[in-house]
Structure 1
Amino acid sequence: MAEELSADFVVVGSGICGALVAMVLAQRGASVIMLEAGPRVERAQLVANFRNSPRRSDWMSPYPFSPWAPHPVYRPEDNEHLVQAGPYPYPAEYIRMVGGSTWHWAALAWRNVPNDMRMHSLYGVGVDWPFDYDELDPYYQWAEELMGVAGDGDEHPDSPRSQPYPMEPVAEPWAMRRIRERLAGTYRVANNPVARNSRTFDRRPACCGSNNCQPICPVDAQYHGGIAAAAAEAAGVRLISSAVVYKLEHDSQDRIVAAHYYDPERNSYRVTGGTFVVAANGIETPRLLLMSTSDRFPNGIANRTDMVGRHLMDHPSTSLTFDADEDLWLGRGPQSPSSISALRDGPFREDYSGYRLDFTNISRVDSTTQRLLLEGVYGPEFERRLRHSAAREMSVKTVLEVLPRPENRIALSSRKDALGLPRPQAHYDIDTYTRRGAESALWHFRRIAELMGGSNLRFSDENAFANNQHICGTTSMGEDPNISVCDGWGRTHDHENLFLVGTGVLPTAGTANSTLTAVAVALRSVDAMLPAERGWAAEQGKS
């Protein structure tokens, strides 16, 4: 007889948001089952995979591809798991395994600026959030303390805070120090806030500056979803891996009563619970909701107003690469350590997007070597040009805002994966608002190059935007069910016991890497999942 699987809470997805929500629920006395589509892989194996990979610059290569839980793979060939419907390509990358995609993130832990949450009221574009920045501040702090965020609040006055960062900033690399010194008086270059240890924290060591934060930190100084999943299990959560949830089942009152999942052999299992939390990511969450059809919900669960999958956002980038007039030697310390944040907000957002200017600190040796070999350069000329690029080449990129537009969306494709489930399909374009932001950045690119004594300037193609894998929207929260999927607590408008957490619920993208904000919003949502006596106020002694 098959084991009966049931719990107070069933969480779908073991990434950083799902795992931390599951952990808190278990710590507060609830029984929790967490279902993860992908396999469980030990960190030591992932580090070995990276060191042995023939494609060191492919940050997905260390992470196992599971036929029963496929994720997008683009190199050496596109596996077409994420089907492109255009008109602009959206080559999103994410990982389906225990711990999720933050295994290979840059650990940038930016907060929004307050006006990111009032875009429609202030600038007449986008939407307003169902709560304001001040309400999120204590949850931001809680998220930063759980993840171990290092930063200096004085460097980031655009994102006010009521308490200090848990840790002082990670040591500034030499290259970033020189960039900061040479741009001083024109631009303020600040250390990025990061979920990376600047000292021993949570029994993990400080950053050793190895410069392979992506695809994986070799010493575990960087926080990731694997740590969150382990903490959830330590709190009593039952984690079932290789469990591909393909359908949510509802009753006659529209309450969700079960999650159905396949194992790798396509055996089906049913898990019942009192409350369900979907935390798959901004692509796999709407995919699951759209697959969960019934006579009552022919277009999918939580999709009565056809909002599931809509408002897909990310942070596209343009860039400038050039040669500075002094040796900088990028490649020592974290890969993404410093930014200029003065252009994140202002009245100009009525007309074009805000953006950050982010400095890359990735070693140039690998990329230059590949380029020179393709050019057929060998011998002394190869050595001379390699040394020059490794010492002096630098780059700066935009992190551009995208507005929530309903035509940008995730839908279901007619193509099927190995389990017979429809693959997700991306409908995506980059509109004039974002393109104008990219155009405004060109002046700043040139000015930065001038201040650095730059030569050999190489701008990215004006029609080629790099993707940053910050998958936002698709299950947006809001007060109006006609333009959102869930309310301000993540509770779906159509199902009182179904909650959504993750970057997909963010109503606007702003210019901040989305993980920290998604974690803070997810922690806030726990208050609506539990009785008042076990919520945030009780935890803080404020009830």
Structure 2
Amino acid sequence: MTAQLSADIVVIGSGICGSLAARQLAAKGASVLMLESGPRIDRGLIVSNFRNSPRKADFMSPYPSSPWSPHPLYGVVDNHYLEQAGPYPYKAQYIRGVGGTSWHWAAQAWRFVPNDFRIQSLYGVGRDWPISYDELEPFYYQAEVLMGVSGPVNNGSPRSKPFPMEPVAESWAQKRFREQIAPLGYDLIVNTTARNSRNYDGRPACCGNNNCMPICPIDAQYHGGIAAQSAEHAGVKLVENAVVYRIEADAAGKIAAVHYYDPNKQSVRVIAKQFLLAANGIESPKLLLLSSDDKHPQGIANSSGMVGRHLMDHPSNKYIFETEEPLWPGRGPMSPGSIGKFRDGEFRKQMAAARIDLNMPSQVAPVAQDLIKQGIYGKALQEQFQHRAARQFSLKSVTEILPDPENRIVLSDNKDAMGIPKPRVHYHMSDYVNRSMDMLKPIYAEIIKAMGGTNIRSNPDGVYDNNQHITGTMSMGNDPKNSVVDAWGRTHDHENLFIASTGVMPTAGTCNSTLTAVALALRTASKMGAAS
């Protein structure tokens, strides 16, 4: 017989969005049950895994994938959990475990700029949001306080209140980069991050370990594991290793229950008054599509046929070069600053907006590996290693991609170990992105020349890196015919089902998606709890 649980509100997914929304709902007096498909994550174990991993650049290698809740892995062997339908590869990385993917993020917590919410009205491209920047601004600030966010005042996003704390002190390399590009008219803005510059919320200040990805060893950087812990402290009951495989609707169209498997594939039915789907932009649409029935043949919340569509991320063209003077990147945060000059403007009518991001992870490992691969050893190895590790820098773009219904998540015919269909991704790149990448080429060249750059390498034309900012697939909007949820995150089809995820974002802008998703989740939670 199937076991049964109940609560006022069930939250599916314990990532940063689900956990902070659950925390807020519990504070309002609701009984909240949060279901997480993966296991609990121990920070000490992950730090040890990273220290012992031979693949330091593979940010997923410290995070094991469980048989009952697999996540995509592309290391030594691709586990083919996220199937590629092409024509362009979209190898998204995410963690299925308590706290979710922000365990290994860079903690960049940028706000959108106001015009990002109305690019269709202003520039004739993409989609307008059903809410404005001003409507989301109080929730942006609420998220920043919870996460401990710092940043510069003048970064293109108006504020009603100052940041909770001052930015982390900049490194010498960051300072010299700013000085050398200033004569070109480019301002290096300190990145807005959820990283402590002083003791905050019981956690220490950043001490510059420079492995923010895949794990901050001292929790100076906020992540979903901290959020999940705060939810439990607020009274939320968390069930880990609970793989939700079906959302059940009643005859009237309300959601009656969700069903999950434990690792032994024993099924549990969970009933509630309201439900909040808070998995990411791949796992959430997968679950909605899995939950088809006679009355909902396309899946739950999918009368529009839009579930899974409009998948977005931020394609990048990375430039690696060696500076004229030794700057020793690898001290302080891995991603300390950005050039924001190209985040908005009339050019968006023709090409994508972009942010140029300064990357400063330690170059010791990649330089050593490259030299050894070339067969260099002995004194030459020592000399070349010392020269290059002190000078190797990289820049990359965080480039907007427009919502396109053909970029989408569907169900595969292949199944995982629990018998659940895997997600399959259709993805392509547009000329709107390609034109932006071409526009940035002379900008990169100008900056690299100012740094005395040599040994310059970049992506081949038309081949871009993925930033792991999974956005779209369950877009919010006012029209039930072309969107999945309304302006509050409530599904158009089911009055007691809400979604809190990067997946509800109609456009991607030029900033990492987490802060905006958390702000939306808090806004959705403020609407929940009332009679359905």
Q: Taking structure 2 as the reference length, what is the TM-score of the superposition?
A: 0.98
List aligned pairs for 1:246-261, cutoff 5 A: 246-261=245-260
On the 8 A contact 2:3/2:268 being kept in 1, the answer is no
List aligned pairs for 1:94-133, cutoff 5 A: 94-133=94-133
Q: Which residue identity is paired with 2:512?
A: N
Secondary structure at the counterpart of residue 410 of structure 1: strand
Counterpart of 1:163 (choices 147, 161, 164) is: 161
Q: Which residue identity is paired with 1:128?
A: D
How far the C-alpha of 1:70 sits from its partner, in A, is 0.3
On the 8 A contact 1:16/1:228 being kept in 2, the answer is yes
Cα distance in structure 2, aligned partners of 1:137 and 1:340 = 23
Cα distance in structure 2, aligned partners of 1:174 and 1:205 = 22
Whether 1:86 aligns to 2:86 is yes
Q: Tell me what 2:348 maps to.
A: 349
Cα distance in structure 1, aligned partners of 2:525 and 2:108 = 24
Cα distance in structure 1, aligned partners of 2:342 and 2:308 = 29
Cα distance in structure 2, aligned partners of 1:6 and 1:297 = 24
Q: Tell me what 2:220 maps to.
A: 221
Whether 1:393 aligns to 2:392 is yes
**Which stretch has the larger CA shift, 490-499 or 452-461?**
452-461
Secondary structure at the counterpart of residue 220 of structure 2: coil
Cα distance in structure 1, aligned partners of 2:529 and 2:420 = 33
How far the C-alpha of 1:493 sits from its partner, in A, is 0.7
On the 8 A contact 1:310/1:475 being kept in 2, the answer is yes
Q: Tell me what 2:315 maps to.
A: 316
On the 8 A contact 1:152/1:164 being kept in 2, the answer is no
How far the C-alpha of 1:2 sits from its partner, in A, is 7.2
Question: What is the total number of aligned residue pairs between the two structures?
Answer: 530
Secondary structure at the counterpart of residue 445 of structure 1: helix
Secondary structure at the counterpart of residue 273 of structure 2: strand
How far the C-alpha of 1:384 sits from its partner, in A, is 1.5
Q: Tell me what 2:439 maps to.
A: 440
Secondary structure at the counterpart of residue 184 of structure 1: helix
How far the C-alpha of 1:12 sits from its partner, in A, is 0.3
**Which stretch has the larger CA shift, 345-354 or 51-60?**
51-60
How far the C-alpha of 1:3 sits from its partner, in A, is 5.9
Cα distance in structure 1, aligned partners of 2:222 and 2:480 = 35
On the 8 A contact 1:417/1:423 being kept in 2, the answer is yes
Cα distance in structure 1, aligned partners of 2:160 and 2:436 = 31
Q: Tell me what 2:72 maps to.
A: 72
On the 8 A contact 2:4/2:268 being kept in 1, the answer is no
Q: Tell me what 1:297 maps to.
A: 296
Q: Tell me what 2:137 maps to.
A: 137
Cα distance in structure 2, aligned partners of 1:57 and 1:352 = 31
List aligned pairs for 1:468-483, cutoff 5 A: 468-483=467-482
Give the unaligned 5+ runs of structure 2.
none
Cα distance in structure 2, aligned partners of 1:359 and 1:214 = 15
Secondary structure at the counterpart of residue 482 of structure 1: coil
Q: Which residue identity is paired with 1:126?
A: G
On the 8 A contact 2:3/2:267 being kept in 1, the answer is no
Identity %: 58
How far the C-alpha of 1:323 sits from its partner, in A, is 1.3
On the 8 A contact 1:247/1:260 being kept in 2, the answer is yes
Q: Which residue identity is paired with 2:194?
A: A
List aligned pairs for 1:480-499, cutoff 5 A: 480-499=479-498
Cα distance in structure 2, aligned partners of 1:170 and 1:92 = 29
On the 8 A contact 2:243/2:260 being kept in 1, the answer is yes
Counterpart of 1:182 (choices 180, 183, 204) is: 180
Cα distance in structure 1, aligned partners of 2:482 and 2:375 = 54
Q: Tell me what 1:22 maps to.
A: 22
Give the unaligned 5+ runs of structure 1.
533-543
Cα distance in structure 1, aligned partners of 2:459 and 2:371 = 19
Q: Tell me what 2:54 maps to.
A: 54
CA RMSD of aligned residues (A): 1.0
On the 8 A contact 2:191/2:335 being kept in 1, the answer is yes
Secondary structure at the counterpart of residue 466 of structure 2: coil
How far the C-alpha of 1:254 sits from its partner, in A, is 0.5
Q: Tell me what 2:207 maps to.
A: 208
Q: 1:236 to 1:2 in 2, by over 3 A?
A: farther
Secondary structure at the counterpart of residue 324 of structure 2: coil
Q: Taking structure 1 as the reference length, what is the TM-score of the superposition?
A: 0.96
Cα-to-partner distance string for 1:91-123 (whole Å, 9 max, x where unaligned)? 000000000000000000000011110010000
Q: Tell me what 2:274 maps to.
A: 275
Q: Which residue identity is paired with 1:453?
A: G
Q: Which residue identity is paired with 2:170?
A: E
